[in-house]
Chains A and B, each alone.
Chain A
Amino acid sequence: MSVAPGRRPRVAVIDDEPDVLTFLRLALEDAGFEVLTSGSPAEVLSELASFGADVICLDLLMPERMGLSLFVEIRRTPSMARVPVVILSGLAGDALAALDTFGDLLPPAFCFEKPVDLGAFVARLKALAHGPHLEPA
């Protein structure tokens, strides 16, 4: 699922914070990504599937706390079962640790804790978008 030559890497950012979305859309576009942003996890799934993200950036803790469900739904969608997911959260460490317990699903590739170090974040997304990804043991 790596990016074909000549195509910009696609990243989907899902966060309920409009400012965070604006920030990441602009910053990631500046870094050369094609960006899909969504603030509503409830409606994003079909959009995501047709977008064909190379990497998905997800805030796990949204007000309706649907981020967790969305992660599971992404993983259950065959086309996205193995797309690298980066968690962006205020409490990333705990979130990732908890996600480890969810059975056979491919866990998130990485967790970034807010406020995010933009340089490292962009570099990590690029690396993930271009694969190849390590399969979990």
Chain B
Amino acid sequence: MTSHWCHADRQSLFDEIPCSVVVIDREFIIVDHNPAFADMFGAGVGRYCYSHTRGRQSPCQNCPAESTFQDGQRRVLEQNGRDCNGRQAHLLVQVTPIHDSGGGVEHIAVMSTDLTSTKRLQREYQTLFEQVPCFVAVLNREFRVVKANRMFRLVFGEPTGEHCYTLLKRRQQKCPDCPAERTFADGGTHTSRHIGVSRTGADTHYMVSTAPLLAGEESPNHVIEMALDLSDVHMLQQELDQASRLRETLVEASLDAIVVLDSRGRVRLFNQAAERLTQLSRDDVIGEKLPRGLLPTQVRPLLAGEVDHCLLHATTLTTAGGDTLPVRLAGVVLRDLEKPVGAALVIQDLRDITRLEREKLEAERLAAVGQTVAGLAHGIKNILTGLEGGMYVTSTGLQRGDSGRTKQGWEMLERNIGRISMLVKNLLAFSRGEGPKLALIDPGEVVRDVYELYRESAGQHGVHLQLGVQRSTERVVMDREGLHTCLANLVSNALDACLVSGVTPCDISLRLDERDNTVIFEVADSGCGMDYDVKQKVFTSFFSTKGAGGTGLGLLLTRKIVQQHGGTITFESTPGQGTVFRLSFPRDRLPRLPDHDHDGGAADQGRPSGRES
């Protein structure tokens, strides 16, 4: 076969071949090389190859060229070397004998291909494959795991050719929606969610992606499968859903109206109770502003973001139908970090409570009237006794012609008739409910006055009267004299209880306290206490009054005064251990001064606000 292939062509090939070629003789002296070699190691004809490429003084150990000179065999191997710039190079080296005409090997061609960048890519790929924080496996067409990354091996163990579905899902058959199958079919990338089973048997939620191992393969032989464990995310999602459902249920089930407004005053949440209370449909208000005038004006500072929260114990709400309802309202500004994003309002319908309160006050008033009548009857009986005495003294005086005695009897008659008319006036005053004389007073001062009043006489009876006044109790709007009467009555009762008990030393403590915005007066004794029967009778007889003297009406008066201030009187008593009487005045129920004369005094016309019938 004739050929145009000539020496020039050979030389050209030698020069253009994209790998470095060097020819050495048996002395390892470079006899020729191509430009690619020169690019890598510099021109070096005539130099020892080990000296030129490696900087050595003697041939390398295990030199492949030496072996090839000996056996004439061609060799391929990978070597690490350095180029003329000192750069580490990973080389694929082919050592080829050049036979001379006699068949001997006098020269050898060494061809080197630089694999450095390929190797680096390989290493990077391997690192990525191993370290990526999800399960990565290579599957063959039978869906067997032929290679798995570190995380996969940690969880599922070293793969020994099991099916992917056995490892990840403990299944015996391929999954019906296998993304790997689709990738095998179309060479595309596919993603879907799967629920697998962990080694402990728990459900594990995966996001699975599959791709052909070699890009561009139309019908790939291997698929790389990546499964990301989303179980934690899934669990959080479920918890969030649950919390959200719970919140919705609670809000809807609440008996109190709950309204949430955004920063522009538009309704974001409006529960059923809010619909009932306002007579508005949530469909009409969600996303809209509430009708003007619905909320009390005191809420404005909250909605304007001027205050962080507000609590209106007794305010009103105007319904869509124009009714004004008594409500209690609590509001709080909602913040996202620091920025206000709206406000939440909880509104309690007070209609029932107000009605019950009114009924209770009325019942208490009726009971008080009944007890007053009993007390007055007692007073009347005393007067009748006085009248009877007057008649006896008058008539015996007349019989005996004793004018002094007759006069004495007549005076008794006059006096007791006078008392009857006073009693009737008192009765009228009581039943009319004369208002207390209100002023802003220091409750602690009244408590101390009563303490001083009784301290000495208590001491004389071997009773130790103690005073406990919380220093910071703010002033209250009350009838000073009325409060004094109440406390004096209670201390006097306690003294009696101590004297009767005969226990020495017997203690009475007179305390003033404030808890939950309620001013509390307490008179506790370690006296005889009361059993059930006495407790019943105490309220109908002992704590009643003689009535006629105008010095007060005992417990009835105490109760009436307490009631006029919106307060309650309660007691606890244990026979043989003592009794505690407690007067509680919630501040928000205390009467208000008629004008803003906060220094008190001129408040004769002061009436408790709306508490009297």
Report A's interface with B, CB cutoff 8 A: 16-17, 19-20, 22-24, 26-27, 30, 61-66, 68-69, 72-73, 76, 89-91, 94-95, 97-98, 101-102, 113-116, 118
Known contacts A98-B542, A101-B531; is A17 also within 8 Å of B386 by CB?
yes
**Interface CB pairs A-B, < 8 A, 11:** A19-B390, A23-B389, A27-B392, A61-B378, A63-B546, A63-B551, A65-B492, A68-B496, A69-B500, A95-B542, A114-B385
- In the assembled complex, the Cα of A101 lies from the Cα of B379 at a distance in Å of 25
Contact of A69 (CB < 8 Å), options: B392, B416, B496, B537: B496
- List the A residue with the shortest CB-CB distance to B549: A63
Q: Is the CB of B542 within 8 A of A72?
A: no
Q: Is the CB of A118 within 8 A of B392?
A: yes
- In the assembled complex, the Cα of A68 lies from the Cα of B388 at a distance in Å of 25
What are the nearest 8 A-B pairs in CB distance? Answer: A23-B389, A90-B378, A19-B386, A94-B541, A115-B384, A90-B381, A69-B499, A114-B381
Q: Closest CB-CB distance, B381 to chain A, in whole Å?
A: 4
- In the assembled complex, the Cα of A71 lies from the Cα of B537 at a distance in Å of 18
A-chain residues with CB within 8 Å of residue B496 when the two chains form the complex? 65-66, 68-69
Q: Is the CB of B385 within 8 A of A23?
A: yes
A sample of 9 more A-B contacts (CB under 8 A), given A20-B386, A101-B533, is A22-B412, A23-B393, A30-B396, A66-B496, A69-B496, A72-B499, A91-B378, A98-B533, A116-B385
B-chain residues with CB within 8 Å of residue A30 when the two chains form the complex? 396
Q: Is the CB of A65 within 8 A of B542?
A: yes
Q: Is the CB of B388 within 8 A of A95?
A: no
Report B's interface with A, CB cutoff 8 A: 374, 377-382, 384-390, 392-393, 396, 405, 408, 412, 415-416, 461, 492-493, 495-496, 499-500, 502, 528, 531, 533-534, 537-538, 540-542, 544-546, 549, 551, 554
A-chain residues with CB within 8 Å of residue B492 when the two chains form the complex? 64-65
Q: Is the CB of A24 within 8 A of B382?
A: no
Q: Is the CB of B385 within 8 A of A115?
A: yes
- List the B residue with the shortest CB-CB distance to A20: B385
Q: Closest CB-CB distance, B269 to chain A, in whole Å?
A: 60
Majority-rule SS of B interface residues? helix
- In the assembled complex, the Cα of A24 lies from the Cα of B384 at a distance in Å of 13
B-chain residues with CB within 8 Å of residue A27 when the two chains form the complex? 389, 392
Among A26, A64, A95, find the residue whose CB has the most chain B CB atoms closer than 10 A: A26
B-chain residues with CB within 8 Å of residue A26 when the two chains form the complex? 389, 392-393, 396, 405
- List the B residue with the shortest CB-CB distance to A94: B541
- In the assembled complex, the Cα of A69 lies from the Cα of B389 at a distance in Å of 27
Known contacts A26-B405, A69-B500, A72-B499; is A91 also within 8 Å of B374 by CB?
yes
Q: Is the CB of A23 within 8 A of B390?
A: yes
Q: Is the CB of A118 within 8 A of B534?
A: no
- In the assembled complex, the Cα of A63 lies from the Cα of B546 at a distance in Å of 7
B-chain residues with CB within 8 Å of residue A66 when the two chains form the complex? 496
Q: Closest CB-CB distance, A22 to chain B, in whole Å?
A: 6
- List the A residue with the shortest CB-CB distance to B378: A90
Known contacts A65-B542, A76-B502; is A22 also within 8 Å of B374 by CB?
no
A-chain residues with CB within 8 Å of residue B385 when the two chains form the complex? 17, 19-20, 23, 114-116
A-chain residues with CB within 8 Å of residue B380 when the two chains form the complex? 90
Q: Is the CB of A68 within 8 A of B542?
A: yes
Known contacts A19-B390, A19-B415, A113-B381; is A90 also within 8 Å of B542 by CB?
no
Q: Is the CB of B389 within 8 A of A95?
A: no
Contact of B544 (CB < 8 Å), options: A16, A73, A91: A91
A-chain residues with CB within 8 Å of residue B540 when the two chains form the complex? 94
- In the assembled complex, the Cα of A65 lies from the Cα of B396 at a distance in Å of 33
- In the assembled complex, the Cα of A90 lies from the Cα of B538 at a distance in Å of 15
Known contacts A97-B537, A98-B537, A102-B500; is A19 also within 8 Å of B412 by CB?
yes
Q: Is the CB of B382 within 8 A of A20?
A: yes
Known contacts A72-B500, A113-B381; is A20 also within 8 Å of B389 by CB?
yes
- List the B residue with the shortest CB-CB distance to A117: B388
A-chain residues with CB within 8 Å of residue B544 when the two chains form the complex? 61, 91
Q: Closest CB-CB distance, B536 to chain A, in whole Å?
A: 10
- In the assembled complex, the Cα of A26 lies from the Cα of B412 at a distance in Å of 13
Q: Is the CB of B382 within 8 A of A114?
A: yes
Q: Is the CB of B541 within 8 A of A95?
A: yes
Among B374, B388, B408, B551, find the residue whose CB has the most chain A CB atoms closer than 10 A: B388
Q: Is the CB of B502 within 8 A of A72?
A: yes
Contact of A118 (CB < 8 Å), options: B379, B388, B415: B388
Q: Closest CB-CB distance, A35 to chain B, in whole Å?
A: 14
Q: Closest CB-CB distance, B384 to chain A, in whole Å?
A: 4
Contact of B546 (CB < 8 Å), options: A61, A68, A73: A61
- List the B residue with the shortest CB-CB distance to A98: B537
A-chain residues with CB within 8 Å of residue B461 when the two chains form the complex? 69
- In the assembled complex, the Cα of A73 lies from the Cα of B462 at a distance in Å of 13
Among B461, B500, B528, find the residue whose CB has the most chain A CB atoms closer than 10 A: B500
Q: Closest CB-CB distance, B453 to chain A, in whole Å?
A: 12
A-chain residues with CB within 8 Å of residue B388 when the two chains form the complex? 23, 115-116, 118
A-chain residues with CB within 8 Å of residue B499 when the two chains form the complex? 68-69, 72-73
Among B381, B384, B495, find the residue whose CB has the most chain A CB atoms closer than 10 A: B381
- List the A residue with the shortest CB-CB distance to B380: A90
- In the assembled complex, the Cα of A61 lies from the Cα of B392 at a distance in Å of 24
Q: Closest CB-CB distance, A61 to chain B, in whole Å?
A: 6
- In the assembled complex, the Cα of A69 lies from the Cα of B499 at a distance in Å of 6
- In the assembled complex, the Cα of A89 lies from the Cα of B495 at a distance in Å of 21
Q: Is the CB of A90 within 8 A of B389?
A: no
- List the B residue with the shortest CB-CB distance to A17: B382
A-chain residues with CB within 8 Å of residue B390 when the two chains form the complex? 19, 23
Q: Closest CB-CB distance, A122 to chain B, in whole Å?
A: 11
- In the assembled complex, the Cα of A24 lies from the Cα of B375 at a distance in Å of 23
- In the assembled complex, the Cα of A22 lies from the Cα of B396 at a distance in Å of 13
- In the assembled complex, the Cα of A97 lies from the Cα of B390 at a distance in Å of 30
Q: Closest CB-CB distance, B215 to chain A, in whole Å?
A: 103
- In the assembled complex, the Cα of A30 lies from the Cα of B495 at a distance in Å of 38
Q: Closest CB-CB distance, B544 to chain A, in whole Å?
A: 7
A-chain residues with CB within 8 Å of residue B379 when the two chains form the complex? 90
- In the assembled complex, the Cα of A6 lies from the Cα of B386 at a distance in Å of 32
A-chain residues with CB within 8 Å of residue B500 when the two chains form the complex? 68-69, 72, 102
Q: Is the CB of B392 within 8 A of A114?
A: no
Contact of A23 (CB < 8 Å), options: B386, B495, B528, B554: B386
- List the A residue with the shortest CB-CB distance to B400: A30
Q: Closest CB-CB distance, B530 to chain A, in whole Å?
A: 8
Contact of B381 (CB < 8 Å), options: A63, A98, A115: A115
- List the B residue with the shortest CB-CB distance to A93: B541
A-chain residues with CB within 8 Å of residue B546 when the two chains form the complex? 16, 61-63, 90
A-chain residues with CB within 8 Å of residue B396 when the two chains form the complex? 26, 30
Among B389, B396, B546, B551, find the residue whose CB has the most chain A CB atoms closer than 10 A: B389
